[in-house]
């Protein structure tokens, strides 16, 4: 099975500010065993780095925790896809569902790979449902 993970879902695995999306932990274990593919646009790691940086600046995590979390996230078995070919479709999705193009990149990738989608973002999940993803 192929899944697409967005930044909100990924970070829920490490910073408990809400529930982890159903099935995500199992999917990650399967990806580690190479029984499942977890994918994301290359934007994922830039967004994750920004959130970790923000959490450090808010004194929610320490500099050492930020660094340790980054190394752990960067080592995950996530297959990254270039943003560039996804952008035309992401712009359409963003317009149709009142999303940012950044968020719509995840849905465009999901649509391209007929993949299951993991997010902790309610607005993004609603758009995925409307798109039958």
pTM recorded for the entire structure? 0.92
Model confidence at 130, pLDDT cuts 50, 70, 90, reads very high
Q: What percent of the chain has pLDDT over 70?
A: 100
d(Cα 64, Cα 118) in Å, to the nearest integer?
28
Mean pLDDT of 12-27: 90
Task: Report which of 32, 47, 35, 45 is spatially closest to residue 2, judged by C-alpha positions.
Answer: 35
Q: Tell me the pLDDT tens digit for each residue of 101-123.
A: 999 999 999 999 999 999 999 99
User: Residue 17: pLDDT above 90?
Assistant: no
In CATH, what number does 2-43+77-130 get?
Answer: 3.40.50.1010
User: Residue 48: pLDDT above 90?
Assistant: yes
| Annotated domain spans of the chain | 2-43+77-130
């Amino acid at each position: 099975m192929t899944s697409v993970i967005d930044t909100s879902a990924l970070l829920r695995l490490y910073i408990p500010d809400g529930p982890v999306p159903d099935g995500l932990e199992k999917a990650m274990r399967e990806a580690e065993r190479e029984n499942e593919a977890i994918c994301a646009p290359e934007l994922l790691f830039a967004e994750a780095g920004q959130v970790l940086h923000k959490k450090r600046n808010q004194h929610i995590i320490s500099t050492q925790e930020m660094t340790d979390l980054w190394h752990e996230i960067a080592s995950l078995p996530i297959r990254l896809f270039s943003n560039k070919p996804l952008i035309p479709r992401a712009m359409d999705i963003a317009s149709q569902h009142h999303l940012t193009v950044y968020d719509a990149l995840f849905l465009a990738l999901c649509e391209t790979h007929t993949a299951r989608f993991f997010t902790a973002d309610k607005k993004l999940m609603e758009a995925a449902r409307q798109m039958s993803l």
